[in-house]
Amino acid sequence: MIFEGGENIGDKKLDVFIYDTTLRDGSQGEGISLSVNDKLKIAKRLDLLGVSYIEGGWPGSNPKDRAFFLEAKEIDFQNARIAAFGSTRKPDTPVTQDSNVKSFMDLGVSAVTLVGKSWDFHVSKALETTLEENLSMIKDTVMYLKDNDIEVIFDAEHFFDGYKNNTDYAIEVLKAAADTGADWIVLCDTNGGTMPWELEEIIDQVQKTIYTPLGIHVHNDAGCAVSNTLLAVRKGITQVQGTMNGYGERCGNADLCAVMPNIELKMNKSCLPEGNLKYLSETSHYISEIANMPHHNTQPFVGKGAFAHKGGIHVSAILKDSLTYEHINPEDVGNNRRVLVSELSGLSNLLYKAKELNIDVNSYDNETRKVIKQIKELENEGFQFEGADASLELFLRKAFSQYEEFFQLKNLKIILEKNEEDGIIAEAMIKVTVGDQTFHTAAEGDGPVNALDNSLRKALTEVYPEISEMHLTDYKVRVLNSKSGTAAKVRVLIESANQKEKWSTVGVSENIIEASWQALVDSINYLLLKRRQN
């Protein structure tokens, strides 16, 4: 029997239902801490993308998650149903007295994901109760929730480990949930150590006795979470649990940003409203911003480097036909092709970039070869143009004599002072010239770079008012040779934006302020250059 649940989740009809647990399992990942407001923002965005379920949290365990459910009730979600997570009733406690179960009722949730133990070892070790009582806990809770018209998704925790250890009991647990009316039974590889062939074989066995619609929930401890999920879908499982960007406890959950495009593009099954897959990259980046986690360049499908080509032969083939080194069209998932200019890259990469910038480059002359050599030298010093397109453009225009400086620095001074327990006060003084005009100003800031930024803008906005439209959106520092600590070379990457555009610039120095200065100057120069080109 395949679950015909499409009709009651929005008006979609899907082959596979995506159950997102970024807000619960995802937030158990190291370094992730989401406020109620963050959670609401993410939920709205996931709904726009079109997932079928959003697990909001564990309202019985902490006040923040409770607050989320109260606020989420006021939102009119278009595609997703909000599910609350919680465990079966506690041992030897009537279900009506259980604080978790009470929280579901108080909040009036319409879907509950109930986690129950399916590994006998966990029942005795972690729950410290009998196998029999565990079954009653499951039955009582499922029945009670179903009596109250709540959709019940039963997460069989540690199911695969449980099956390997005590097959009969693991199946009995599933039956306890199925027989009492659970709408879904989700097979969980909670510790993430199951091999693909084990998972396939166990699903085959489960499908012989359990007729409730099945879901899959796997962790990535063995590096197999994405494939294990896909293999389960291939076996006919219709609910997929995972998190955006693979966030989650330890090595994370199955990354929905890889699972969803594989399901749609490789398996030709639908899991999002038609046409929505192209919002995937944007959504992935948005969530990493909100979660304040770095977005990994190499992340399949959505990473900034997922379609970035560096090797010279790759680039020369890509120039002929992009299919040669790309498994899908990057636009299908809202990503872009990029060609990296680096020391490994030959002439082809530079020519591609120059073409993109409308710089007329003769591929055979000495000037071009000199520029490639200069890039290699700068990268040797620690510059990384791969992540700083605006600095690369400025560099190329300078190298091919298509650029003039907008201003000249004469002098800058920064003073930082701190007394006993007070914070540091930062003040910057700056003298710049534009043509024959001199501007000499001072400004404070929340730190030396901010003070510098403020004083430079103050000095320049009289001549270049467009500077007031731009602002810095990110500031990253990387130590290049960590062996010598604070005296090591650092690379600063600055991201700037105005209403229309974002651009990145780079600076390298042993002095963090010098490196920041270089990137700051590039970011302003780039804006000025663009305004003159348009």
Query: Residue 383: helix, strand or coil by DSSP?
Result: coil
Alpha-carbon distance 280 to 276, whole Å? Answer: 7
Q: What are phi and psi of 217, to 5 degrees?
A: -145, 110
Q: How far is the CB of 179 from a second copy (least distance, A)?
A: 26
Measured from the CB of residue 223, what is the shortest distance to a second copy in angstroms?
Answer: 4
Q: Per-residue contact track with a second copy, 372 to 391, x per CB under 8 A?
A: -------xx---x-xx----
Q: Which is nearer to a second copy, 128 or 132 (CB)?
A: 128
| Binds a second copy (CB under 8 A): choice among 279, 403, 464, 475 | 475
Is 140 one of the binding residues for a second copy (CB under 8 A)?
no
Provide the 3-class DSSP secondary structure of residue 519.
helix
Stretch binding a second copy (CB under 8 A), from 105-113, 201-209, 358-366, 408-416 = 408-416
CA 175 to chain centre: 36
For a second copy, the closer CB: 483 or 532: 483
State the nearest-atom distance from the C-beta of 4 to a second copy, in Å.
26
- Please list every residue from 291 through 350 that binds a second copy, using CB under 8 A: 292, 294, 296-301, 303, 305-314, 316-317, 320-321, 323-328, 340, 342-344
CB neighbour burial string for 76-111, b if at least 16 within 10 angstroms, e if fewer: ebebbbbbbbbbbbbeeeebeebebbebbeebebeb
228 binds a second copy (CB under 8 A): yes
Which of 15, 445, 458, 464 binds a second copy (CB under 8 A)? It is: 445
Q: CA–CA separation, 350 vs 396, rounded Å?
A: 10
Over the window 448 to 467, marking each residue x when it contacts a second copy by CB under 8 A and - when it does not, the resulting string is xxx-xx--------------
Contact call for residues 430 and 424 (beta carbons, < 8 A) = no
Q: What does the radius of gyration of the chain's CA atoms come to, in whole angstroms?
A: 28
Give the separation between CA 456 and CA 53, rounded to whole angstroms: 49
CA–CA separation, 265 vs 268, rounded Å? Answer: 6
| Burial bucket for residue 222 (CB in 10 Å: 0-12, 13-18, 19+) | middle
Among 10, 91, 181, 193, which residue interacts with a second copy (rule: CB under 8 A)? 193
| 80 versus 459: smaller Cβ distance to a second copy | 459
Report, in Å, the least distance between residue 431 CB and a second copy.
9
CB 141, min distance to a second copy, A: 16
- Quick check: 218 binds a second copy (CB under 8 A)? no
Residues of span 34-63 touching a second copy by CB under 8 A = 35, 61-62
Q: Is residue 75 close enough to count as binding a second copy by CB under 8 A? A: no
The answer to whether residue 155 forms part of the interface with a second copy (CB under 8 A) is no
Tokens of 154: 């039963």
Q: Tokens for 260?
A: 């969803």
Q: Is 435 left (phi over 0), alpha (psi -120 to 50) or beta?
A: left
33 in contact with a second copy (CB under 8 A): yes
Q: State in angstroms the smallest separation of the CB of 16 from a second copy.
A: 15
Task: List binders of a second copy among 78-117 (CB under 8 A).
Answer: 87
Q: Please list the alpha-helical segments (H only) found in 51-166.
A: 63-72, 99-107, 120-122, 131-147, 159-165
- The yes or no reply on residue 262 touching a second copy (CB under 8 A) is yes
Distances (CA, A) of 193 to 221, 224, 250: 6, 8, 12
CB of 190 to a second copy, least distance (A): 7
